[in-house]
A and B are shown apart, each in its own frame.
Chain A
Amino acid sequence: MSVLIFIDQSEGHIKKASYEVATYGAKLAAQLGTTAEALVLGTVTDNLADLGKYGIKIVHQVANETLNHLDAQLFTNVIAESVKQLGATVVIFSHTQTGKAISANVAARLQAGIVTGASALPDTSNGFVVKKTVFSGKAFANIAIHSAIKVISLNPNSFHTLAGDGLAEVSSLAIAVGNPKVKINSVDKIIGEVPLTEADIVVSGGRGLKGPENWGILLDLAKELHAATACSRPVADANWRPHHEHVGQTGVQIAPNLYIALGISGAIQHLAGVNRSKVIVVINKDPEAPFFKAADYGIVGDLFEVVPKLTEEIKKMRGE
C-alpha cells in the first residue's frame, strides 16, 4: 500500500505540474499513513533524488528511451504494471495534456475508479471522497471512489507546491516496454512563448481590441509580465489570433495566478474557461460588461489608453 505519483518529463526535465502532484501525493500519503513514491518513465537529466524535497521517499524509474515520447498504450502498460509490482493503492496524475492521454486508460486497466480534474486533497475520514470541478468550473462535485485502487488526476495550478529538504531514493524498475503502434511524424513545440496552460500570468484580448493590428499593446504588457497570451472565441474565429490561444468553454481551460482580460465582455462560455484563475483583472470601457461581476479588480476605461499606461507603471514598479 502506497501512493504512486506519475512524474511527467519532457526532454529530460521534470514538468512544473509534476512538482505540484508530488506535493499533493506526499500530503495524501501522510494523511493515509503510507509512503509517497514516484514513477518516472524514460531517461532524464534532472536529479530525481531532488523529488525528496517534495516529500517523495522512493523514485522508481523505467529508464527506457522508447518512453521519452508519450504513447498512450505503452505508458498504460508500464504504469499499470508498476502499480501492480509496487502494490500501490492510490495513483496520482496531473490533469495536463499528458494526464488526459493516459490516466483514464490506466484506471480502466486496473478496474480502478478515477476522479479527473480533482481540485483538493481527498476526504478520507469516511471512505475516499475527491472534490472535482464540474460544469466547466461553474461547480464542484464530491465523488466517492469505491474500488480498491484509486486514481486521481489533479487540476494543474490547484495545489500549492511546497519544497523542503530531503533526498529520495532512486530505484530502477524493470518492466518490458514493447513497441509503439503509433509513429510520431513530427513534433512542433511553440518555442520562446510561455505555454498557456502552464503560465502564471495570462493576458487575454477580445473584440474590444478592434483588430489584429492593435495587438501590440497587449503583447507589450504580456512581455513585461512574462505572461502567456490568450484570446476570446470571436477573436480566434475571426483569425485575428491563432486558435490555440482561444480560452473558454470550447477552447483551452486555464487556471493561472493572474488573468488580465482586455476588451472581453465575459460571456458565460468565456468565464467557464478562466474562472479557476486566482486573480482576475478586467479592463473594459463598458461598465455593464458581465466580466466585472467575476473580476477581482477592474478598470472601466478605454483600453487603448489604459493598457500602455499599465505596462509603464509595471516597468516603474520594477525599477526599470
Chain B
Amino acid sequence: MKILVCISKTPDTTARIAFTDNNTQFDENGVQWIINPYDEWYSLVRAIELKEKDPATVIHLITVGGPDCDPVIRKALALGGDEAIRVNAPAKDSYYVAAQIAEIARQEKYDIIFTGKEAIDFNGSAIGGMVAELTDTPYISLATKFELTGNTALISREIEGGEETDEVALPVVVSCQKGMAEQRIPNMRGIMAARTKPLKVVEPAAIDALTSILSFELPPAKAGVKLVSPDNVAELVRLLHEEAKAI
C-alpha cells in the first residue's frame, strides 16, 4: 500500500490577518506557520493509522513551495510518514499546485491520495478534485471515515443534508475532514526520526497558473453591538423583527 498525503503550510488559526504592499501581499510579520489543520489532523493522522495496521504501507508527503516550507514538512514527518517531496516552486494557484502533485503521482502510482478538505488560508477546496481529475482517479470529497478491506475502501462522506457510505476499488483520491482521525502530538522519538527521513526537493514541471491574486481586502468593520437589557428581551425580538428583519 502506497499513500500520498498532500501538505500545505498555512498561518496559525489565531494569526492576525493583515496585508502589505498596497494590499497585494499577506503580512507575514509575526505569523506562526503550521501544517494546514485538515492536512494534519485528518489526512496525515489517518494515513499513519493505516500504516500502524499494515506496517508494509509506505507514506509519502508532498508540498509545493519554497524552502520556507521545510520546517512544516519536517514537523509532518515527525508525526509519521516515510519520506517527503517538496516541489520547489511558489504555490501560484490551485491548478498549478494540483498539476505538480499529479505529475509526481503519475510517476509514483499511489493507491491512496489524501488531501485536507481545504486549506485554511485560501479556502479553495480544489486540490483533491483537480488531482483526481488530472490522474483520472475516482474522487471522494469531504470524507469523515475511511476503512480498508484489501484493495477496497469504504468511505463515509458528507453530502447535503446527511452522510453517505461509498465503496470504491483503489486507487482513490480522498479529501478529509473532521471524523477521519484525532489530532496527535509528535513525540520526541518522532521528532528525532524526522531529522534523518528523506526530504526530496524536485524542480517543478512547466505548468502555467490560470489565475492570479490582484489584491486583498478586509471585511468592513461591524457597526458595533447593540446591547439589550436582560430584563427587556421583548426589545431584542422587536429589533430582530423590525430593524434587522431577521425573524
Query: Which residues of A pack against B, CB within 8 Å?
Result: 8, 10, 15, 70, 72-73, 76, 95-98, 100-109, 111-117, 129, 131-147, 181-190, 195, 197-198, 201, 225, 243-244, 246, 249-251, 257-258, 268-269, 272, 275, 278-279, 281-282, 292-302, 305-306, 309-310, 313-314, 316-317
Among B46-54, B77-85, B103-111, B217-225, the one that faces the other chain is B217-225
Say whether B65 faces chain A, with CB atoms less than 8 Å apart: no
Which residue on A lies nearest to B121, using beta carbons? A135
Known contacts A97-B160, A111-B210: does B216 contact A140 (CB below 8 Å)? Answer: yes
Contact of B164 among A116, A184, A272, A294 (CB under 8 A): A184
Tell me, in angstroms, the Cα distance from A195 to B162 when the chains sit together: 8
Known: A135-B123, A144-B212, A250-B178. 4 other contacts (CB 8 A): A143-B214, A251-B178, A258-B246, A297-B239
Tell me, in angstroms, the Cα distance from A257 to B247 when the chains sit together: 9
Tell me, in angstroms, the Cα distance from A250 to B127 when the chains sit together: 18
Tell me, in angstroms, the Cα distance from A224 to B146 when the chains sit together: 38
B227, A299: Cβ atoms closer than 8 Å: yes
B244, A297: Cβ atoms closer than 8 Å: yes
The 7 residue pairs across chains A and B that have the minimum distance between CB atoms: A301-B230, A113-B210, A104-B129, A104-B126, A189-B162, A195-B161, A258-B246
Which residue on A lies nearest to B141, using beta carbons? A101
Q: Which residues of A contact B162 (CB under 8 A)?
A: 187-190, 195
B240, A297: Cβ atoms closer than 8 Å: yes
Which residue on B lies nearest to A95, using beta carbons? B125
Contact of B120 among A73, A101, A135, A147 (CB under 8 A): A135
A104, B237: Cβ atoms closer than 8 Å: no
Minimum C-beta distance from A156 to chain B (A): 10
Please classify how large the interface on chain B is, using the bins under 10, 10 to 19, 20 to 34, 35 or more. Answer: 35 or more
Minimum C-beta distance from A260 to chain B (A): 9
Contact of B159 among A97, A140, A258, A306 (CB under 8 A): A97
Say whether B124 faces chain A, with CB atoms less than 8 Å apart: yes
Q: Which residues of B contact A300 (CB under 8 A)?
A: 227, 230
Known contacts A72-B138, A313-B233, A313-B237: does B95 contact A108 (CB below 8 Å)? Answer: yes
Among B56-64, B165-173, B184-192, B194-202, the one that faces the other chain is B165-173
Minimum C-beta distance from A291 to chain B (A): 9
Q: Which residues of A contact B93 (CB under 8 A)?
A: 113
Contact of B95 among A76, A107, A244 (CB under 8 A): A107
Q: Which residues of A contact B37 (CB under 8 A)?
A: 249-250
Known contacts A139-B217, A243-B178: does B240 contact A107 (CB below 8 Å)? Answer: no
Looking at chain A's contact residues, the main secondary structure is mixed
B95, A272: Cβ atoms closer than 8 Å: no
Tell me, in angstroms, the Cα distance from A136 to B213 when the chains sit together: 17
A145, B211: Cβ atoms closer than 8 Å: yes
Tell me, in angstroms, the Cα distance from A246 to B178 when the chains sit together: 10
Q: Which residues of A contact B178 (CB under 8 A)?
A: 243, 246, 250-251
Contact of B160 among A98, A137, A181, A251 (CB under 8 A): A98
Chain B, residues 23-67, CB within 8 Å of chain A (1/0): the string is 000000000000001100100000000000000000000000000
Which residue on B lies nearest to A250, using beta carbons? B37
Q: Which residues of B contact A111 (CB under 8 A)?
A: 95, 210
B210, A101: Cβ atoms closer than 8 Å: no
Contact of B38 among A107, A250, A306 (CB under 8 A): A250
Say whether B148 faces chain A, with CB atoms less than 8 Å apart: no
Contact of B163 among A70, A96, A188 (CB under 8 A): A188
Contact of B133 among A76, A115, A139, A279 (CB under 8 A): A76
Contact of B210 among A8, A147, A188 (CB under 8 A): A147
Q: Which residues of A contact B236 (CB under 8 A)?
A: 281, 297, 299, 310, 313
Tell me, in angstroms, the Cα distance from A167 to B179 when the chains sit together: 44
Q: Which residues of A contact B159 (CB under 8 A)?
A: 70, 97-98, 187
Which residue on A lies nearest to B164, using beta carbons? A187
B230, A302: Cβ atoms closer than 8 Å: yes
Q: Which residues of A contact B164 (CB under 8 A)?
A: 184-188
Q: Which residues of A contact B120 (CB under 8 A)?
A: 135-136, 249, 272
